[in-house]
């Protein structure tokens, strides 16, 4: 199967090349030329497989340059002991029509693990297939979650190194502890004086430094990123939509062939787009509910057809969704319009003026499947409390946004169709907000909040978040942005 850029249909590459390159040379994203189809017999067969079996079956349809044995080995290393339950992505049925898909049983207790546990293995295998002999060094600027998930994914993966820069003033105490205590022989973690933008600009400068790149080539290294527009991060996410559907069938909540909705807390549009791929491959999904916080650029877009990033940015209680440019939307526009010229036009308008309006035809195609909604921080907290009181189920702030948007849509329509709420983080990752929602105002900070939430809820702290303060601190450097290149230079000596 070939992959093409969303902005130019002339240039086709293999799956391995798409993953090795990350971004197309014209700035577009790689999309598969066709969407493989699964019939109901195949979905019935998936119901009897474990998570790895489902992952191998679905991903092999897109990765025809990988053998089945290769994929089995990749999935076994990704979805094994790093996860705290055999189901990997378990489905919790709350009541007859509502279930929650928990994507946070991996090593960092958040959904990015679903892709970042697999990507390093997929990437090194892809580089080998492309004849790349240099070793890859992943550079990450992080505002918290992605950095830790990437560190966990790449730690001790042969043929790779990873250097993470985090803003000294821009991450929570728990996030910082998670990163500076990271284990692994091939990892580096450094604090940068300033905010996230300072760290991000520093990384971009290093990427565009051609002299530095050739110096690294002489040493047998090249630099790459692990960001969410890489096809290798999207593909593993398609799997859990199928997996959740199968588990809902097995629980008796729906019958095989029934349609379900999914409600997805959305930021960069990567998670929900994977749901759209699953739907387009034949999974009986009726609608995808695109849930936003106060940064409601996507729900405005779904209502009006106009994407407009010229607006105030809000820091919310669901920070991983605080995004104004949802990069992965470009893939949907390309697939539904069927035109790379049209897509390139929208993206040019976005970079020139910060906005674009899609054609009525494209708008109609999007409306056929997507419906948007958003909620405030106050509603987020209220929702956590309501669900805890009613169903004894504890949700984090991101999941609560998706749950609230589902409730709004259901009450607006006066019907309750079966729906799976996609849960993207453990409540313990956002202990401060969750405690506030439950009405607990204990004067605590950092890691103590995690213990406190466990006391209040009677739920055990997930293993990766236990004893954070007792772990050995391995990384203490704090540098100015001007020192970042030297830090990478030293790291790769
Ligand atoms: C990244 C993230 C999201 C948003 O996912 P997208 O793929 O960017 O839409 C939602 N919740 C949590 C906890 C996340 O880490």
Give CA angle at 38 (261, 97), nearest 5°: 20
pLDDT value, residue 198:
85
In short, whether 403's Cβ falls inside 6 Å of ligand 1 is no
- From the CA of 117, how far away is ligand 1's center (Å)? 16
pLDDT value, residue 196:
80
Query: Do β-strands 187-192 and 478-479 pair in parallel, antiparallel, or remain unpaired?
Result: parallel
pLDDT tens digit string along 133-152?
999 999 998 877 889 999 99
In short, whether 145's Cβ falls inside 6 Å of ligand 1 is yes
Query: How far is Cα 405 from Cα 426, in angstroms, rounded to an integer?
Result: 19
Atom of ligand 1 nearest to the CA of 112: 15
In short, whether 266's Cβ falls inside 6 Å of ligand 1 is yes
In short, whether 110's Cβ falls inside 6 Å of ligand 1 is yes
Atom of ligand 1 nearest to the CA of 266: 9
465-487 burial: b if 16+ Cβ within 10 Å, else e: beebeeeeeebeeebebebbeeb
| Share above pLDDT 70 across residues of the chain, in percent, rounded to a whole number | 100
Query: How far is Cα 126 from Cα 375, in angstroms, rounded to an integer?
Result: 41
Atom of ligand 1 nearest to the CA of 396: 13
- From the CA of 292, how far away is ligand 1's center (Å)? 10
Nearest to 3 by CA among 274, 326, 24: 24
Nearest to 238 by CA among 358, 144, 115, 321: 115
Q: Is the pLDDT of residue 363 over 90?
A: yes
pLDDT tens digit string along 8-38?
888 899 999 999 888 888 889 999 999 999 9
* Long-range contacts formed by 460-463: CB under 8 A, 24+ apart: 461/428, 462/84, 462/105, 462/109, 462/426, 462/428, 463/84
- If you average pLDDT over every residue of the chain, what do you get? 94
Nearest to 136 by CA among 163, 160, 164, 116: 160
Q: Give CA separation, 388 vs 317, 381, 437, 458, in Å.
A: 18, 11, 10, 12
Q: In what order do the strands lie in the sheet with 160-167?
A: 221-224, 135-141, 160-167, 187-192, 478-479
How far does CA 14 lie from the centroid of its chain?
A: 23
| Contact status, residue 165 vs residue 484, Cβ threshold 8 Å | yes
Site to probe by mutation for ligand 1, drawn from 108, 109, 110, 174 as the one with most ligand atoms within 8 Å of Cβ, is 110
**Catalytic annotation, residues:** 112
pLDDT value, residue 302:
98
- Which pTM was predicted? 0.95
Q: Is the pLDDT of residue 365 over 90?
A: yes
How far does CA 249 lie from the centroid of its chain?
A: 25
Query: How far is Cα 311 from Cα 442, in angstroms, rounded to an integer?
Result: 36
How far does CA 120 lie from the centroid of its chain?
A: 15
pLDDT tens digit string along 115-138?
999 999 999 999 999 999 999 999
Q: Is the pLDDT of residue 307 over 80?
A: yes
- From the CA of 398, how far away is ligand 1's center (Å)? 8
Flag the least confident range among 337-351, 395-409, 461-475.
Answer: 461-475
Give one word for 210, left, alpha or beta, with left for phi > 0 and alpha for psi -120 to 50.
alpha
| Contact status, residue 376 vs residue 294, Cβ threshold 8 Å | yes
In short, whether 270's Cβ falls inside 6 Å of ligand 1 is yes
Specify the 3-state DSSP secondary structure of 371: strand
In short, whether 409's Cβ falls inside 6 Å of ligand 1 is no
In short, whether 112's Cβ falls inside 6 Å of ligand 1 is yes
Site to probe by mutation for ligand 1, drawn from 265, 291, 319, 428 as the one with most ligand atoms within 8 Å of Cβ, is 265
Nearest to 399 by CA among 336, 347, 299, 321: 321
Q: Is the pLDDT of residue 70 over 80?
A: yes
Structure tokens at 483: 């020192």
pLDDT tens digit string along 175-191?
888 899 999 999 999 99
pLDDT value, residue 155:
95
pLDDT value, residue 27:
86
What average pLDDT does this structure show over 283-287? Answer: 98
| Contact status, residue 287 vs residue 346, Cβ threshold 8 Å | no
| Helices and strands (DSSP H and E) totals, the chain | 21, 16
Query: How far is Cα 381 from Cα 434, in angstroms, rounded to an integer?
Result: 7
């Amino acid at each position: 199967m070939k992959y093409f850029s969303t902005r130019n249909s002339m240039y086709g590459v293999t799956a391995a090349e798409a993953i090795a390159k990350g971004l197309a040379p014209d700035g577009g994203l790689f999309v598969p030329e066709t969407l493989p189809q699964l019939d109901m017999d195949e979905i019935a067969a998936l119901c009897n497989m474990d998570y790895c079996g489902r992952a191998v079956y679905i991903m092999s349809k897109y990765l025809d340059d990988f053998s089945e044995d290769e994929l089995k080995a990749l999935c076994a290393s990704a979805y094994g002991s790093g996860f705290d339950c055999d189901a990997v992505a378990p489905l919790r049925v709350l009541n007859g029509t509502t279930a929650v898909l928990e994507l946070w049983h991996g090593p960092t207790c958040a959904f990015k693990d679903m892709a970042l546990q697999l990507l390093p293995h997929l990437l090194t295998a892809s580089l080998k297939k492309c004849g790349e002999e240099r070793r890859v060094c992943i550079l990450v600027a992080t505002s918290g979650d992605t950095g830790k998930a990437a560190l966990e994914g790449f730690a001790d993966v042969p043929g790779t190194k990873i250097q993470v820069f985090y803003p000294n003033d821009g991450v929570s105490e728990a996030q910082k502890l998670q990163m500076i205590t990271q284990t692994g022989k091939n990892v580096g973690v450094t604090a940068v004086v300033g905010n996230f933008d300072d760290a991000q600009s520093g990384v971009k400068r290093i990427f565009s430094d051609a002299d530095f790149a050739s110096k690294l080539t002489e040493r047998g290294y090249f630099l790459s990123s692990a960001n969410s527009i890489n096809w290798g991060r999207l593909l593993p996410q398609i799997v859990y939509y199928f997996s959740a559907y199968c588990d809902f069938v097995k629980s008796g909540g729906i019958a095989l062939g029934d349609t379900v909705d999914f409600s997805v807390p959305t930021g960069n549009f990567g998670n929900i787009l994977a749901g759209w791929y699953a739907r387009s491959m034949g999974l009986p999904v009726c609608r995808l509910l695109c849930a936003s916080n106060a940064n409601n650029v996507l729900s405005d877009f779904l209502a009006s057809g106009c994407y407009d990033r010229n607006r105030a940015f809000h820091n919310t209680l669901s920070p991983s969704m605080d995004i104004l440019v949802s990069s992965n939307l470009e893939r949907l526009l390309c697939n539904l319009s069927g035109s790379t010229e049209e897509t390139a036009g929208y993206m040019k308008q976005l970079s020139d003026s910060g906005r674009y309006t899609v054609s009525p035809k494209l708008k109609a195609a999007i409306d056929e499947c997507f419906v948007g909604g958003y909620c405030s921080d106050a509603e987020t907290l209220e929702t956590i409390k309501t669900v805890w009181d009613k169903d004894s189920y504890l949700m984090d702030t991101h999941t609560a946004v998706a749950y609230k948007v589902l409730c709004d849509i259901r009450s607006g329509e006066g019907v309750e169709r079966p729906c799976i709420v996609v849960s993207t983080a453990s409540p313990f990752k956002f202990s401060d907000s969750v405690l506030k929602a439950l009405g607990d105002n204990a004067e605590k900070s950092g890691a103590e909040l995690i213990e406190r939430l466990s006391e209040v809820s009677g739920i055990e702290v997930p293993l990766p978040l236990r004893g954070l303060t007792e772990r050995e601190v391995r990384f203490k450097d704090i540098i100015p942005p001007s020192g970042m290149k030297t830090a990478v230079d030293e790291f790769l000596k």
